[in-house]
Amino acid sequence: MNVKSLSMYQVKNFSPYMTKPSFKGEAIDKFDEYTQSFMTPKGIKVGNLFALEKDINISEADIDPSDKKTKKLYEGGIHITVNKYEDSKQIEITNDKGEEILYAQVKNGANAPVMEYTKGKYNHNVVISDKSLRGKKAMFLQGSTIETRDGEFTLRINDPKKKIAAGNLAFKGNLYISTLNKEAKTKGAVEKYYDKKFYLDAPEGDYKEIVQQHNPSLLIPAGGFGERFENVSSILGDGTENKPSSYLPRNENYRIMGTTLNMAAQAGIIEEDDEIKYLSQKHELAESDEVSHVEAYGTDGGAFAEALKKDIIPDNKDAIILNADIFTNADITRAYKALKTLPNAAAVIPYYPVGEARAKSFGLIGVEADADNNMVIKEFVEKPKYINDLPEDATAEEKEAREKVRLAEIGDKYMANPGMYFLSKEAVAVLKNHNFKKLGDVGLGADLMPTIVRLAQEGKLVDENGNQMKVYTVPLEAKGGKAAVWDDIGSAEAYADIIHDVARETRKNFDTPEFNKYYGVPDAILNDIAASSHIQTGVITMTPESERAVEGFKQKYNIVNMEGNIIVS
């Protein structure tokens, strides 16, 4: 038997202290030094599960409730139990409720890979690095299983909350990208998109000529840290990507933010000789004709507000704002048409219908119908605590919040805010002149858009003829007026779910692509994603080389079952 990969001698002498304690103060004083050695500012990290010799116990109840960041990292509690038997070692991870999250077992002296376990803002996952993977990494997300033919080792990751089944006119200088985290990576992702001319594959939007006529500015906020996505971005490419610059299978040049760039290309805002301007917050990009330095903000709205005040972004024309970390087939020309045709429209914020289960994860749009039966936005509802399950002893504040949720009901669904904003030139000018007390605290959905809604309701937002303006919502639509598909790639699980769903749809509608619910995303991208997904097992191979690496890995360890949400870089 080949035991070079990880002999029992190596297991026993593998140091369990991966890091020095990173937290100080009351937050972790109740944990022993051994447990603290695995706690980092980003969560818990165990370099090799099979090397553990003692239990690790992190109860949520032992964390100072005022230390919200630490409490969030270890929400639900993490208890790692090490059981040693005559012929094997077993590792079990449970939460405070006793629900099993992970189970791993290795026979003494077995040929087994190193399994690195982490949990932070993202969900529990295990990353395997092994020579048989030919430089690739395999990430096992919740709902994954791996078993060897002779039982040398086993890994199973459960999810207590979820059961997982296996162009003609170029507009120069109209596109602005706000950067903050790993700015050069974001800029590089945009350059890859342009160099490979992906914009040529974007199908023309239904009302592209209206966009061309009015020539709006387009802002793409791409400044987030993507902490819930960090486990995926850490294994892609050279391990230094941020979320917008992380790639989708199987074209290494096509990145997550390519979806947003495609929407701009559909509308004619991106074409061959366009100029892109960057709002650099961390100043990792040197100032130039295309790069303007702004302050570093903790929110995505501050950079936009400052760019308006400094005349980097013009205040005499409309503006569109699109997120950089979504996957959608939305045709933004349809929402822009609504901005230009609805009566006295100050802004249009399209809604995406979600069911009750998802509604708690989104900011919702509360509306009321006007005299023409158009949906006018009355207020924004933050992620609601209660939908229909309001308890009998609910407080007055909770009851009031529940009533606001009713404003977001549409049939048996709720109107979620997908983070796409279409602003008139009047709204842009008002935002430029508005006195926000502290730009660092200005968020797009939390501050800028509610300000527009409030000013419109107060009659302080009027058109050039003095008419009071309104903020509308319309359904998010794809080409032809079909309901758009939209997902926020917030986590590794969301990323994997989207890839599998795209693969199912694309294979099912291979001969009739117009019936694919993702119709509007370039065919080449849909086909690349479909080729990467092994729907029956849940394995996603990001490149053709990853496909071969998986086969080598299975052969080396005699693996007969490898299924779940597994991403192989």
DSSP result, 59-114? -GGGS-TT-HHHHHHTTT-EEEEEEE-SSEEEEEEE-TT--EEEEEEEETT----E
Residue 193, both tokens: 């998109």
Angle at which helices 258-266 and 183-195 cross, to 10°: 50
- How many angstroms separate the Cα of 386 from the Cα of each of 76, 162, 213, 397? 20, 19, 44, 12
CB-based contacts of 19, cutoff 8 Å, min separation 6: 37, 38, 40, 45
d(CA 93, CA 130): 23
Distance of CA 377 to the CA centre of its chain: 26
d(CA 463, CA 19): 60
- How many angstroms separate the Cα of 257 from the Cα of each of 131, 288, 299, 504? 31, 23, 18, 22
Residue 47: closest CA among 84, 77, 74, 80: 80
Domain edges within the chain: 8-164+537-568
Residue pair 366/381 in contact by the 8 Å Cβ criterion? yes
d(CA 22, CA 1): 40
Cβ atoms within 10 Å, residue 163 = 8
Give the strand pairing for 100-107 and 88-94: antiparallel
DSSP E strands in 355-503: the ranges are 364-369, 375-381, 409-410, 413-416, 420-423, 470-472, 486-488
The angle subtended at Cα 425 by Cα 423 and Cα 430, nearest 5°, is 85
- Write the Ramachandran bin of 98: left for phi over 0, alpha for psi from -120 to 50, otherwise beta: left
Tens-level pLDDT at each residue, the chain (569 residues): 333 333 332 333 333 434 444 454 445 667 888 999 999 888 999 999 999 999 999 999 888 888 888 888 898 999 999 999 999 999 999 999 999 999 999 999 999 999 999 998 889 999 998 999 999 999 999 999 999 988 899 999 987 665 433 333 333 458 999 999 999 999 999 999 999 999 999 999 999 999 999 999 999 999 888 888 989 988 887 788 999 999 999 988 999 999 999 999 999 988 766 678 999 999 999 999 899 999 888 777 888 989 998 999 999 999 999 999 999 999 999 999 999 999 999 999 999 999 988 888 888 999 999 999 999 999 988 888 777 777 777 788 878 778 888 999 999 999 999 999 999 999 999 999 888 766 656 778 878 899 999 999 999 999 988 999 999 999 999 999 999 999 989 899 999 999 999 999 999 999 999 999 999 999 999 999 999 999 999 999 999 999 999 999 999 999 999 999 999 99
